[in-house]
Structure 1
Amino acid sequence: MAYIKFLFRSTNQHGVHSPFVYSLVTRCFNDRKKYSAYRILKDYRKSLLKDKRTIHIKDFGAGSRVFRSEERKVSKMAKTAGISPKRARLLNRLVRYLEVDSALELGSSLGLGTAAMAAGNRVKITTIEGCPETAAIAKEKFEEFNLKNIQLKVGRFEDFLKESAKTNSNSQIPNPKKSDGADLQSVPTHFSILNTHKSQPATDNSELLTHNFDLLFVDGNHQKEATLTYFKKLLPTVHNDSVMILDDIHWSKGMEEAWEEIKAHPRVKVTIDTFQWGLVFFRREQEKEHFVIRM
């Protein structure tokens, strides 16, 4: 029913009158070029689909609509619960088109989405996963596919979103992009693959909210209150050109209510509902507009 309502309300690029959104749809969403990074994403997925190991899942979110047990095969998780190939390619293009330098992901899972952001892009990613065994698989795959621009951290999202004295949710953080261009250098940390740069997102849990990100991908707890909490806590980390992507905004009535509250927030200027994802932009120079776009 939710998808039928979406189809009635949605449009394609011809119904978009915002130059910014029109360009995003025509030059990124509808980009048909075959990027070399797509081969990495395809091979990464194949590797997971061949993985017959069973792991124990520790789920802090809304749970799964597919799995009934906490014991799950990696191959089946990749097939049914991971980001789709089409969405992975789109996420890869978004990072490239928006020239994302730093990204934060809540919900690494097996790393399919993380790899989509990382492959072929000069982006520094901090990704957080609550389940240790799932994170271990993701870490293994990041190493296997030589994705060295990822810092993987394990723990509950709430533990990484604790406010510090320097955090101000009403602050307008400027765009940190086009930093000094220092060379990346590898620094070992506990259970992570980390490349460091002067504009590198914080590695200390308590400092995460004092840094800013060009892209924030929230995919880990599909519940209304949790989603609204993450959105509000992450506001100090966004700047004028940031994009926040919220996964499964039509998962439930509660998630749809959360999406409507986020759209109404005064810091939010442009939103795009693609049914599975909700994209949120904070561009102060734009009038407040909301779009529903078919992919």
Structure 2
Amino acid sequence: MFYQIRQYIKFLLKSTNQHGVHSPFVYDLVTTCFYDTSKYKDYHKIEDFKKRLKRTNHKINVTDLGAGSQKIKSRSRKVSDIIKHVCISNKNAKLLYRITNYFKPNSVLELGTSLGFATQSLSLGNPKSEITTIEGCPEISKYTKTNFDLQQLNNIKLITGNFDNEIEKLTSNKYDLIFFDGNHQKEATLNYFETLLQTAHNDSVFIFDDIYWSIGMTEAWNIIKEHPKVTATIDTFYWGIVFFRKEQKKEHFTIRV
């Protein structure tokens, strides 16, 4: 926790808004997408879904295949506790919705479904996309699949399994957007990045969640930034966003959202 607080203070000191951005591509993304103040109707679905989960006392026996939660240690967890401590915030869920709506990716991959809160935003942001999401815990996967069906989110394919095994089966695909939100450990994150790099194309977008979750995650983020195939990155503190556009000069941006 103290590490994250220190990093957030550093972030505030060096971050900027659109006025500090000289790349036309990133400037348009920040002004048109990040700072879009439109009141989308789908925001109500996002908020209502989370409210419903917060009121759910159903318990799930959780199998943690990654770093696990920093706040919940017991294996048997209430859905309300998982959504409170593990899932992304409403603010970031809406940002993810806007990013998906902005880029309109046809093919999306998510590592770490959890209760499907972020997955819902990806789905609503572009209902025409094909989303593959991977969850390691069988009980969470079963519960979340039921919620997807109830919401009629029909563009989502949920895979239950270990990330290491499942992503190897997907390397022949091409993905327009990948959301990395599982196993917040340095070596695992770098392995997923390297493995899925072969699925990226010039216009792909990789989003890494919780880049300041730990010292190891920040080290992983810094290594990813310097990869020769990465041409631009955006640090929003909670996320690290990666681009591979060859027409974009190598540049790193720190943006307040």
Q: Is the TM-score greater than 0.5?
A: yes
In 2, the alpha carbon distance for the partners of 1:141 and 1:56 equals 17
Q: Find the counterpart in structure 2 of residue 252 from structure 1.
A: 214
Structure 2 portions without partners, runs of 5+: 1-5
Q: Find the counterpart in structure 2 of residue 139 from structure 1.
A: 145
Q: Number of residues paired by the alignment? A: 251
Q: Find the counterpart in structure 2 of residue 75 from structure 1.
A: 80
Q: 1:127 aligns with which of 101, 117, 133?
A: 133
More helix by share: 2
1:265 and 2:227 are equivalent in the alignment: yes
TM-score for both structures, normalised by structure 2: 0.96
**SS in structure 2 of the partner of residue 280 of structure 1:** strand
What does residue range 1-295 of structure 1 map to in structure 2 within 5 Å? 1-119=6-124, 121=126, 122-162=128-168, 206=169, 208-295=170-257
Which amino acid in the other structure matches residue 244 of structure 1? F
Q: Find the counterpart in structure 2 of residue 173 from structure 1.
A: none
TM-score for both structures, normalised by structure 1: 0.84
In 2, the alpha carbon distance for the partners of 1:120 and 1:31 equals 14
Q: What displacement does 1:54 show?
A: 0.8
**Runs ≥4 residues deviating over 6 A:** none
Identity of counterpart residues, as a percentage? 55
Q: Please provide the CA RMSD for this pair.
A: 0.9
In 1, the alpha carbon distance for the partners of 2:124 and 2:30 equals 21
Which amino acid in the other structure matches residue 65 of structure 1? Q
**SS in structure 2 of the partner of residue 161 of structure 1:** helix
Which amino acid in the other structure matches residue 71 of structure 1? S
Report Cα offsets for 1:232-275 as digits up to 9, x if no partner. 00001111000000011111111111111100000000000000
In 1, the alpha carbon distance for the partners of 2:68 and 2:99 equals 28
Structure 1 portions without partners, runs of 5+: 163-205
> CA 1:120/1:256 → structure 2, altered by over 3 Å: closer, same or farther?
closer
